[in-house]
Amino acid sequence: MKQLIDRLEQEQTLPREDWIRLLEDFTPEDTAYLCERARHVRQMHYQNRIFIRGLIEFTNYCKNDCFYCGIRRSNCNTHRYRLSKATILDCCRRGYELGFRTFVLQGGEDGHFTDAVLTDIVHAIRTEFPDCAITLSIGERSRDSYQQLFDAGANRFLLRHETFDSTHYASLHPAGLTAASRQKCLWNLKEIGYQVGSGFMVGSPGQTTENLADDLLFLKKLNPQMVGIGPFIPHHDTPFAKEQAGSLELTLFLLGAIRLMLPKVLLPATTALGTIAPDGREQGVLAGANVVMPNLSPKDVRGDYLLYDNKICTGDEAAESVANLKRSMQAIGYDVVVDRGDSLNM
């Protein structure tokens, strides 16, 4: 396996059958070796700098019904909320003081936020914080809508492809949502000029090693600025309540592999990773990640934006989360910096 890992580092890709072999047969020693190489590559491009993104979960209304997601339309047990423009701007102000230079607006696909409503909010953030990046994570919209939001001042867009394989995609989503249209959105976003983040859940129900190999090959082809992966974690009010969570080991291995495949990509150690293991985000950084996305949402809505069970930091103040994060990153030799943290993968 060591030869395959060396080859991945040198060639920055692997043929599909080698990806499958690597993902099926890796041992803890292989993970240790891969993570060491991943740290080396990350160090070359980004040193020991960790970028932070302030996550503002601005609505949990969603018209979609994804089988894995806790805020799916059919979940009647979720208390629904949406933040006003004034509250969103307040979150940004608090974030700016805490050193954030990127704000991520994430939410369900909420019809209230029409192009007019959302461009107005984006424009207001852009005007007040000209030195910050604005990232949207609001699901599938028309190309024209993406363009309007871009023109209003949004720079980045996170849209995980979730799984490349169309049959697997169909087993995670209701009829009407397709892998093809998700992927089309990503290409549109890139064409418009957004810095794009894609990615997938690790260990989602029915996921095979072949699916993962296809996910990696798709990411190689898309060549996004950022890749977000995290373990699938069941939510008790979804059709996948009884399914198993994705594993820490596989997630860490994939983080290291993605770092070698796309050396300059921004790679977050996600909240889901921090949820399945108490030191999950630190382990993610030690596997090659260089971004963390602390929560800037108002404390009173945190507990309502539950995509999965046991999500961390639902009770913390933003300041508290950031202070804890700085401390835990320092303890493993990394510095949380005040920086937009633009991707070097262009």
Q: For residue 336, what are the β-bridge partners?
A: 50
Smallest gap, in angstroms, from Cβ of residue 3 to ligand SAH? 32
95 or 139: CB nearest ligand SAH: 139
Chain residue at closest Cβ approach to ligand SAH: 139
Smallest gap, in angstroms, from Cβ of residue 309 to ligand SAH? 8
Are 55 and 296 within 8 A, CB to CB?
yes
96 or 232: CB nearest ligand SAH: 232
164 or 232: CB nearest ligand SAH: 232
Smallest gap, in angstroms, from Cβ of residue 58 to ligand SAH? 11
226 or 233: CB nearest ligand SAH: 233
Residues in contact with ligand SAH by the rule CB under 6 A: 68-69, 106, 108-109, 137-139, 159-160, 162, 201, 230, 232-233, 235, 272, 307-308
46 or 68: CB nearest ligand SAH: 68
235 or 281: CB nearest ligand SAH: 235
Are 101 and 338 within 8 A, CB to CB?
yes
CA 262 from chain centre, in angstroms, equals 16
For 179-209, b/e burial (b = at least 16 CB within 10 A) is: beebbebbebbbebebbbbbbbbbbbbebee
Instruction: Give the integer Cα–Cα distance in Å for 59 and 79.
Output: 11
Helix axes 209-222, 248-261, angle to 10 degrees: 30
Smallest gap, in angstroms, from Cβ of residue 86 to ligand SAH? 23
41 or 250: CB nearest ligand SAH: 250
Smallest gap, in angstroms, from Cβ of residue 137 to ligand SAH? 5
Smallest gap, in angstroms, from Cβ of residue 264 to ligand SAH? 23
- Going by C-alpha positions, the residue among 180, 237, 238, 183 that lies closest to residue 205 is 238
- Order of strands across the sheet that contains 54-59: 54-59, 102-107, 133-137, 156-158, 195-202, 226-231
Smallest gap, in angstroms, from Cβ of residue 138 to ligand SAH? 6
